[in-house]
Structure 1
């Protein structure tokens, strides 16, 4: 069975010297910027679409790209639907959100500028113009400690020491101290590893950034049923004298 493919329509409308732009008349810088932004929107941070599989045709009218030939990417279509039904950028791919912000900024400076993205088959999509109000919630980043499970594909560095960890196909660059890497006795390169890091986590999106290596874990953590039962019994004994209605009393008593 042949994999399902889809067609997407990307258009930009503008007037230059009182002339509508189109395939026969478009500023070179606008053509280059729009082509780059369409590619960035398609690929996203997770590279849902392989640019080598994409075919682009230019339609008459405003500058319109019809993108086809690629396999259907669920997250790409999902993000387009979210942008069609909501003005929040919090829950779409971060690279696509950046593209929308750039389009919105360009339209705010030029009321003639308008962008439109749609599924070519259903014609359902979204537009960005001078009246759009796509936005993100205030970003809050907190310091966290995490365990990462992946394969070390590179470590060291002449100038800045770091570890490159492949986590399910996504390459994370993790800063490290030279002393910590020098003291590591086990050869970690191209081997599965669990490492402990600090990072900053976005409370809205869950994204992580600014990784810092703390240690390589010597043993893979496993679930121990006996240990779990002992912990439950210990906790039960510790709470045995606490009344069942302790929460109501803490809140000031029942009504």
Structure 2
């Protein structure tokens, strides 16, 4: 069984002129906090794929304790250390950055403070309050077209129809797809390996794709096997326009005057 550790979020402030206690922490605020903590601990996983996160609340302002696998807590501790030392969240994966941004906005709007720490030895403490500014700088992401390849692990949705694509090494990408498109598919794509052409937002500093920003443009049948006949057809097509091309002259034309 995997060892566990604790991630702690202490919420402090006043209510009616008195220090906040657990009974002052409204269920709506708790629900929002639970959502962001799940992202901080498991930014690339869905609720169905990740390990269990248990929850406990204790007095001492409002001490929210989350216990889960030690590896996830260690990774979160590293994020806290990076943010605390750099004073910025611009280098973070978009989902993680948005979770800390949410706490920063709560601190500014509700005049509360957050202390984030873990139970691991030497763990740093990250303070978020009205004096901090953990918000991403403007224009750190751009719209881009991209191709993704992976396994479809879910498709559909009652209110927001989408495709969940499990990409090796990247986790699950949620890609918006219209109900009409999904209804018109001539085969069941669930658990099939597929290619996806999509539009989404990419962080200019980290190169990370905002996984929940994707909109489907095209679904591509994905064949992992090498198709020699297909490759030969492509080579034959290329040969037609390359036969009269001088390679050195072509490279010079592409390079232009750069470096001359």
Asked if these proteins are the same fold (TM beyond 0.5), I'd say: yes
Change (3 A) 1:195 1:35: same
Partner SS, residue 35 of structure 1:
helix
1:172 equivalent among 174, 196, 213: 174
Q: Is the 8 A contact 2:4 2:68 kept in 1?
A: yes
Change (3 A) 1:86 1:222: farther
TM-score normalised according to structure 1 size: 0.70
Superimposed CA distance per residue, residues 43-86 of structure 1 (whole angstroms, 9 cap, x where no aligned partner): 11434885744142414x32222333544315433322222222
- The alpha carbon displacement at 1:116 in A equals 0.5
Runs of at least 5 residues in structure 1 that lack an aligned partner in the other structure = none
> Which of the two has higher C-alpha Rg?
1
Change (3 A) 1:114 1:148: same
Partner SS, residue 150 of structure 1:
strand
Q: Is the 8 A contact 2:201 2:214 kept in 1?
A: no
Q: Is the 8 A contact 1:39 1:51 kept in 2?
A: no
The equivalent residue for 1:106 is: 106
Q: Per residue, is there more helix in 1 or in 2? A: 2
Partner SS, residue 188 of structure 1:
coil
Q: Is the 8 A contact 1:54 1:70 kept in 2?
A: no
- The alpha carbon displacement at 1:107 in A equals 2.8
Q: Is the 8 A contact 2:51 2:68 kept in 1?
A: no
Q: Is the 8 A contact 1:37 1:99 kept in 2?
A: no
CA distance in 1, matches of 2:114, 2:181: 51
Partner SS, residue 6 of structure 1:
strand
- The alpha carbon displacement at 1:110 in A equals 5.3
- The answer to whether structure 1 residue 207 and structure 2 residue 210 are counterparts is yes
The equivalent residue for 1:151 is: 152
The equivalent residue for 1:27 is: 24
Partner SS, residue 152 of structure 2:
strand
Partner SS, residue 134 of structure 1:
coil
Superimposed CA distance per residue, residues 123-165 of structure 1 (whole angstroms, 9 cap, x where no aligned partner): 512101111011213243224142433236445x8998x5634
Change (3 A) 1:11 1:217: same
Question: Structure 1 residues 203-212 or 11-20, which shifts more?
Answer: 203-212
- The answer to whether structure 1 residue 250 and structure 2 residue 219 are counterparts is no
- The answer to whether structure 1 residue 66 and structure 2 residue 65 are counterparts is yes
Runs of at least 5 residues in structure 2 that lack an aligned partner in the other structure = none
TM-score normalised according to structure 2 size: 0.68
Q: Is the 8 A contact 1:7 1:66 kept in 2?
A: yes
The equivalent residue for 1:192 is: 192
CA distance in 2, matches of 1:8, 1:159: 33
Q: Is the 8 A contact 2:77 2:124 kept in 1?
A: no
What CA RMSD, in Å, does the superposition of the two structures yield over aligned residues? 4.2
Change (3 A) 1:250 1:126: same
The equivalent residue for 2:249 is: 241
Count of paired positions: 240
CA distance in 2, matches of 1:134, 1:104: 6
CA distance in 2, matches of 1:51, 1:37: 20
The equivalent residue for 1:76 is: 76
